[in-house]
Chain A
Amino acid sequence: MAGCPFGVIERRRDGTAAPKGKRGERKGEQPDVPNLGVAQKCTLCYDRIVDDQTPACAKTCPTTSIKYGDHVDLVALARERVAELHDQGRTEARLYGANELDGVGGTGSVFLLLDEPEVYGLPPDPRVPTADLPQMYKLAGLAAGGMIAAAVLSFLGRRS
């Protein structure tokens, strides 16, 4: 959302992020084309949510591993489940993305993992690159200033 150069991704009232709807778009008319060869963000099946249904992945999940609901409730549920697993001796159980102090401010979907995150294809210590952006702009400004200084120096040196 922060990095979108077109500024068209917005956060909806229910907390989901999606491209701004086109004018005249009606309920349930979001295009359901999963692969156009371009970046597509999960909209949590927005067309289903507005009709008071759960996202298709949660609805069809045969093991009910995918759950849909309010973030707070789901995190509480996940914590309970981890405690339960720990009591069963499965001490490798852990949560991924439930910590708001991490490099990405907590993830929208929290995962319950039974191994290191990278085993599931998740980065072990992600950091939002935009967090370093102010510092990057400062350094870039410094570098640009250095370039101007070098150019000015080149011309001044000639005159003297």
Chain B
Amino acid sequence: MAVSRLSYLSIRALDLAASEKHYTQVVGLRVTGRAPGQVYLQAHESQDHHCIILNASDRAGLDHVGFKVNDPNDLNEAEVVAKEWGLKTRRVAAGVVMGQGEGLSIELPSGHIFNLFYHAEKVGYSYGMKDPDIILDDLEGIWPVTHLDHTLLAGNDVDKTAKFLREALDFNLTETIHGPDGQPFAFFMTVSNTIHNVAFAPGPPNSLHHIAFYVSDRADVIRRVDMLKHRKVATFDYGISRHGVAGVTTVYFHDPSGNRNEFQCGVYEASNVRDKIPPIVWAGENIPRGVFYYESAVLANFFEVVT
């Protein structure tokens, strides 16, 4: 069948304790597992085991990205097609990543590792799965993020990478940013009805541009910017903004290792019926408005800084 969701990002942390504090107290995730050199975290309103894995490391950046599939046989099918495309694959035994079943790792032309897997252990929503009182106590003054929404990755050969994901794994292309030569250089793709789950832009191999967490209300995004400023967490120069791309209300900030995070709220729907709706195109003078709608200007360090 198909890839059913962006499940988690396994990232590197220079100081594991500082990163854990950031993802619990600033982002608002909960710790769901620990292993030597690793911390597993999940959003309060997500039911699988984790959406972030922190790995103690001597550098920042990405280890790998996890996507779920909705049929156990998808791993075999994806393995065959990845080999046809000349991509390296590797089986990951159940339990190697805590809380999940067997996986298939595919090394993409962009240098990123996508780990496909079928089974995730359920931790349930923080307030329980039966007759829940939906309001949580003891929060850090703001309503928690509900789930991991998307990631923007930077790498080489992103056009080939996007082509593989579209043609082999049925990702749906919803928006593109085009260069002066008229060719697309950034690709926004979805496996669901939300407008993007993963996007690719050119950059050094296997790089991370940002990890986006979903916030249900724009008012909560505003309060979160206030809180980031209050806690002296560095935000992107614009503070709060809106992307023309996907029409989301957004703020960017960094974790202690320098990995970029985003809080975002936006409900634009992707048609999700393959190839029925052409992608939105951002080109030329439209690009600044597409990237930062209010300011309609892109600061150079926005695309250049990756981990």
Is this pair of chains taken from one and the same complex?
no
Q: Taking beta carbons and an 8 Å cutoff, which residues of B are in contact with A?
A: none
Q: Residues of A with Cβ closer than 8 Å to B?
A: none
